[in-house]
Amino acid sequence: MRTLLDPFLLALVGIISLAALWPEPGLSGGPLHFEYFTAYGVSIIFFLYGLTLAPEKMRAGLLNWRLHVAVQIGTFVIFPLLVLGAGMLGASRLPSAIWIGFFFIAALPSTVSSSVAMVSIARGNIPGAIFNASLSSLIGVVVTPLWMAWFLAKGGIDMAVGPVIIKILLLVVTPIIVGQVLHRPLARWTARHLGTIRLVDRVVIIGVVYGSTADSFATGVWSSHPPLFLVGIAAGAVALFTGAFATMGAMARVLGFGRDDRITMQFCASKKSMVMGVPMAGLIFGHGPQLGLIIAPLLLYHFFQLVIVSMVAGHERRTAGDAG
């Protein structure tokens, strides 16, 4: 029940409800000009990510190259291929924005904090999880927009890759670099205020979600779909996570990974980052009524991946205890 009652998840539900009931403050061009918050809040998120990313922890897991290659291929190649396979079976007949949203999940990097936390609970390879989750975030800065440019072009939608890459360099890469430069001199301050840093990170994400969904509610995008539409997206998110988790586990076994590396492979390569996904969605797709629909699958995927993985992690921990 702890995951179900996670304050951050409850806050997300609350802010989406607020956007549905009172979208006006979050509208693009509205009285608060929330589009600036959603645009430049991205820089705050990635500055904090760079500030808290410890290079020494990355180095600790560097030598297990087979695991690293497998996790990154699973995250950025196998996962997108799973979604494309689902499209060949009929998933591509979903409304365009929702189908784009599901592929956007596939193109995203892994989570960092929750992947490492769940691997720790399951007694997996923690240094490997830290290295791969962090590396995935850095790779995603480049690979995610390139995947989306290819996918949108395949669907007949032009995406100006150059301006998007420039935005990402300015609003994502530069803040990460600045955070990394300041990591060592501010290490003690960061350690003392880690709780506050995480709170600021979450508050910015909640604000970005509000701004991203307000336009879609105000223009009636959601009201044009039947009530069971959201249930269908949720079912799709559960099916996608379950399929990805099973595929990564099978891949780890084929590669001959031991229990610890298998857990890291499954948890890191199947979990996708909402913290990176929501801000990057605004940079890639722009701010408009369809953005709320595009990020809806990601929000639901994030919720269900936490619920399911927490249960699996607990089971793995009990199994490890019994084995010991």
Q: State residue 3's pLDDT score.
A: 44
Tokens 């365009």 locate to 96
Domain presence at residue 16: no
Residue 24 lies in a domain: no
**H-state helical runs in 53-160:** 55-60, 65-73, 79-88, 96-107, 113-122, 126-154
Work out the pLDDT band at 246, boundaries 50, 70, 90.
very high
pLDDT score at 230: 86
Q: Percentage of the chain with pLDDT > 70?
A: 93
Of these ranges, 223-232, 286-295, 309-318, the one predicted with the greatest mean pLDDT is: 309-318
In this prediction, residue 233 carries a pLDDT of: 93
Return the residue matching tokens 């939608």: 157
15 vs 253, higher pLDDT: 253
What does the mean pLDDT of the chain come to? 85
Q: ∠ at Cα 224 (243, 30), nearest 5°?
A: 100
What's the CA gap between 177 and 11, in Å, rounded?
30
- Check which CATH number belongs to the domain holding 242 and give it: 1.20.1530.20
Asked if residue 6 is part of any domain, the answer here is no
Domain presence at residue 19 = no
Residue 58 has pLDDT above 80, yes or no: no
What is the number of domains present in the chain? Answer: 1
Q: What is the pLDDT of residue 322?
A: 54
Is 4 inside any structural domain?
Answer: no
Domain-embedded: residue 88: yes
* pLDDT surpassing 80 at residue 318: yes
Q: Residue 61: what pLDDT?
A: 63
pLDDT tens digits, 110-152: 987 778 878 888 888 888 888 888 889 889 988 999 999 999 9
Task: Identify the domain containing residue 83 by its residue range.
Answer: 29-317
pLDDT band per the 50, 70, 90 thresholds, residue 20? confident
Which of 69-78, 128-137, 209-218, 226-235 has the highest mean predicted lDDT (pLDDT)? 69-78
Predicted confidence at residue 109, as pLDDT, reads 94
Dihedral of CA atoms 50, 145, 139, 280 in degrees, nearest 10, equals 30
- Whether 15 is covered by a domain: the verdict is no
The span from the CA of 179 to the CA of 183, in Å, is 6
- Residue with token string 């304050």: 7
Q: Is the pLDDT of residue 237 over 90?
A: yes
Supply the pLDDT for residue 321: 61
**What tokens does 210 get?**
């509000």
Straight-line distance from the first to the last Cα atom of the chain, in angstroms, rounded to the nearest whole number: 27
Neighbour tally for 164: CB within 10 Å: 19
Q: Determine the pLDDT at residue 5.
A: 55
Which tens digits make up the pLDDT trace of 63-97?
Answer: 788 999 999 999 999 999 999 999 999 888 889 99
Say if 12 falls within a structural domain: no
